[in-house]
Structure 1
Amino acid sequence: MRAREVLRELLRSGVGRGGIGLLLLLLAGSAYVLVTYPLDFGTSRWNNPTVWADNPKAVPPAWVNLWRSEPHVEHRVFTAREPDQVVQTATGRMAVYRFPITYPYREPPMFLSITLGEVTYVRRPPVISVSLRRPDGRVVRLYRHMPRGPRPGEEPPFHRYHETPLRVRLSADATAVAAVRAFLESEFGVQVSEQALVERMEQALFGTPVSGEALRFEPLTGDYEVIIQVAFADADDRLGLVRFVLGGAVFGLMGTDAVGRDLAQGLLFGLPVALLIGVSVSTLSTAIGATLGMLSGYAGGRTDLIIQRLADVVANVPVLPLLIFLLFIIGSHLALIVLILVAFSWPGLTISVRSMVLQMRTGQLVEAIRSLGASRKRILFRHLLPQVAPYVLAQLIFTTPSAILAEAGLSFLGLGDPSIPTWGQILEHGFRTGGVYVGYWWWVVPPGLLIMLTALAFMLLALGLEPVINPRLREAP
């Protein structure tokens, strides 16, 4: 059958249409990743803790709030490159950054942090102060910072925090704790030690003290505003990056892991990796198996004996212990995993194709073609290959999910390539860090579902191709 006829046969059945639809969805997701993600995503982002420093650790997806009567605090990041207001002063100018926050939650945020970057000054370092205006009109002076002055021999303009921005977790900063302690004492007459306040910083900032209980706070909902003031001495002084993070108890589409990594990004990047592994292993192993099977069945004699004994040996090698041994000796590399899977995936197809070619070799068609002087190569690829092609195609599709599951199993055992995030690695990390046992379902269920969905797409395609392999199953047009 021609490719157009195969496609028509696939679209005729419901399972075929479902398989094509799922495959197109997977291909679209892979194309999006290839266009938008860097090729070194694993090393430059996924395994780089500084990228995820502003994310909460091990929190569920934001959509869990849909069925909660009292929603969790959503994670929010406020970033500014330019100030909202610039005021001229007697000593220079004052740049003001404002981040309004509507806070309807009955629980405090998990943490508060501020990031400052790309500071440039000519004579004197700028003075940076951070305040929080509460719904009750009170203002908390949270933080005050002055970048380092000129080093000996350093020429202006002076640059600070360009390569590595300054990140301060206000919830744990000693200056901020002392400022909140002074605020509670002056505004509410509450005296509390700084050591006891460290664990309740967010409650104190987003609540009011309960009378008679110094360490208990009633949530204060309403409109807050973070105000960041930067006092510059010269007109050429500037602050290029200001970021304020309100650490939430829910995050994004798929939540985060114990490191704070966005699981949605890891799961999405794992999609083209899974397809690459499945398609590469299935294509190479199918090509090797089909070629050797056709050659073995048609040539016969010593060639047949050698190929079949080799297939028997390879088919009976315990693959998993060998994989573990080789990966420990050589190292965990994705290319090595693919090569090993290819090397041990071809014998079954070789034996099946050989039995089919043995029957075709003695048929009248092959005998007539041979009597006309056709070469062995022509007989194999022009007359025998088209007859075994539907079966080989079905086996190629069946092998793809098997290869994806094999790589996921190796990664789950800790033998995957650590430089490339895969679904199996995400599962392994969830089990290794105890996420399964403490109920972090968003860490283990999505990668398992994606593996199952990918396998289902290829299984539906294989079922849709059954009428192509067996003409008796074809429906009348």
Structure 2
Amino acid sequence: MGFNAKDALNEFWSSRVSKLGVFFMVTLFAISFYVLVSYPSNFGTSYWNRPQHWADYPKAVPPTWTQMLTSDKKAQHQILVTDEVYVRDKGIRALEYSIRFNYKADEYPKFTSFSLSELTFYDDPPFVYLTLERPDGTVIEDLLFHSIPYPSPGDEPPFVKYVESPLRIYLPGSSEVNSALSRFVRSEYELGLTPLDIGNSGQEQYIFGTPDSEGNFDQPLTGSYTMKIRVETFHEDDTVGSVKFVVGGTVFGYMGTDTLGRDLAVGLLFGFPVALFIGFITSTLTTIVGSVLGIWGGYVGGRTDDVIQRVSDILNNLPQLPILIFLVFILGQNIWNIILVLVFFGWPGLTILVRSMVLQAKEEQFIEASVAIGASRSWIMARHIFPQVAPFIFTQMIFYTPSAILAEAALSFLGLGDPSLPTWGQILERGFQTGAIYLGYWWWIIPPGLLIVITALCFVFIAQGLEPVVNPRLRRRR
């Protein structure tokens, strides 16, 4: 009785392992499709590997959901941007901005910063003032004062600054902030703290806290804050694109951040299509080369078969990892170079297996009959030999896919991945290089490792489900 496509599908779908593999596969493709349509094509070079893009993000903090494991309320990361401006022309012309935010954490922020972008002025450079209104009604006047530098000699108005990269001032590193906080605690709480005392003990507790009876700022002041930003200008056409105030959190996002502040969830998502691309392209090219050479050598025989087998034996017995490292180092850390190197060492194993199957198949009577009536070698290999070994070849292609993904992850872990594309292996490599495993940054190590394992298991499950379809003996046992 024949075994048609419907029977093969039923046989494959009857296995729980197959269903689990298909579920994982659909999930991988759905996530990859989402990334391809929503991420820019130059994400790696313009975003992931550009530290300026992550300057406003907290460094090396765990995921937001980890606060559910503790009773303490962690500081949420807040990036507060506004371009709504009120122009005041009485006396000195000023552009005034107001940013309101709530602070409800049981701990102080990791950092605070102020940013200004796309400044245009025609005369003297503007002055920037920050004033903070707190939930208890107190006001920290002139928390920050900053004078925009004069343009370079020879420049002509209008002078445009901070277009490519904004003016960014971290409040904890500002001496003006220390002086303002020293004046504030002296006037409000009668505490004789010098600017040096403020700087040494951390400004966030004085910005967001109130003292207890002993003068210690141990508890943050929760509630609604308002940051007022005033940009004093000297020309009626002076403009500011936008202003930003960042309250650095101690937790962030779904997967936390690394030491550069990069959102690991974003990098892990981008790794899905990269992993599938490497896996499928490598396994497809490996399968094409290996099956063509195996069929050709097995059927033609003679000197052609000897040459193919000797080359296969040599490549199959070489220590692959050291040579992979050497070739990628010489050719360059490009994704196509990595794929070509993996294909170069991947085809011999399939060639040897396919050849052994072809040696048996070519002895069949219908093939001898085709030779007798004058059929060409290429016609016989395409019409008679290939259909018999095709199910096995397809199964091997599925098996090769996780091998390629793991090989690329290994190269990336050794620092030889394509730097323009963030991959799971590169995220792992960066984590180990930074000492994340010793510093307790588990969110930097465990997720990419799990994704590599799960993706590999997905293809293994599918290949195991296909074994009864291509192997009649296993099918009968079922």
SS at match of 1:400: helix
SS at match of 1:107: coil
Alignment of 1:48 onto 2:45: no
- With 369-378 and 91-100 compared, the bigger mean Cα shift is at 91-100
Task: Name the structure 1 match of 2:403.
Answer: 402
Task: Name the structure 1 match of 2:19.
Answer: 17
Q: CA deviation at 1:221?
A: 1.6
- Amino acid paired to 1:24: V
Aligned pairs for 1:58-457 within 5 A: 58-83=60-85, 86-91=86-91, 93-141=93-141, 142-149=143-150, 151-198=152-199, 199-213=201-215, 216-457=217-458
C-alpha contact (below 8 Å) 2:54/2:260 kept by paired residues = yes
- Amino acid paired to 2:292: T
- With 111-120 and 332-341 compared, the bigger mean Cα shift is at 332-341
TM-score by length of 2: 0.93
TM-score by length of 1: 0.94
Identity %: 51
C-alpha contact (below 8 Å) 1:185/1:191 kept by paired residues = yes
C-alpha contact (below 8 Å) 2:107/2:219 kept by paired residues = no
Deviations 1:294-340 (A, max 9, x none): 11111112111111111111101111111222233343222222111
| Residues 428/28 of structure 1: CA separation in 2 closer, same or farther (3 Å cut) | same
C-alpha contact (below 8 Å) 2:88/2:96 kept by paired residues = no
- Amino acid paired to 1:122: Y
Deviations 1:214-239 (A, max 9, x none): x5443212221212123344443221
Partners in 2 of 1:218 and 1:66 — Cα distance? 21
Partners in 1 of 2:314 and 2:151 — Cα distance? 72
Partners in 2 of 1:358 and 1:208 — Cα distance? 85
Task: Name the structure 1 match of 2:38.
Answer: 36
- Amino acid paired to 1:351: I
| Residues 220/309 of structure 1: CA separation in 2 closer, same or farther (3 Å cut) | same
Partners in 1 of 2:385 and 2:204 — Cα distance? 74
Partners in 2 of 1:186 and 1:265 — Cα distance? 46
Identify unmatched segments of 5+ residues in structure 2.
none
Q: CA deviation at 1:153?
A: 4.1
Q: CA deviation at 1:349?
A: 0.9
Q: CA deviation at 1:194?
A: 2.2
- With 444-453 and 123-132 compared, the bigger mean Cα shift is at 123-132
Q: CA deviation at 1:350?
A: 0.9
Deviations 1:156-209 (A, max 9, x none): 332222232100001211111111111111111112232331242111111112
C-alpha contact (below 8 Å) 2:205/2:218 kept by paired residues = yes
Task: Name the structure 2 match of 1:467.
Answer: 468
Partners in 2 of 1:29 and 1:462 — Cα distance? 22
Q: CA deviation at 1:258?
A: 1.2
C-alpha contact (below 8 Å) 1:118/1:160 kept by paired residues = yes
Identify unmatched segments of 5+ residues in structure 1.
none
Structure 1 runs, 4 residues or longer, greater than 6 Å off: 1-5
C-alpha contact (below 8 Å) 1:91/1:233 kept by paired residues = no
- With 185-194 and 232-241 compared, the bigger mean Cα shift is at 232-241
Partners in 2 of 1:16 and 1:325 — Cα distance? 38
Partners in 2 of 1:475 and 1:66 — Cα distance? 51
Q: CA deviation at 1:447?
A: 0.2
How many residues align? The count is 474
Deviations 1:107-131 (A, max 9, x none): 1001000110111233344332111
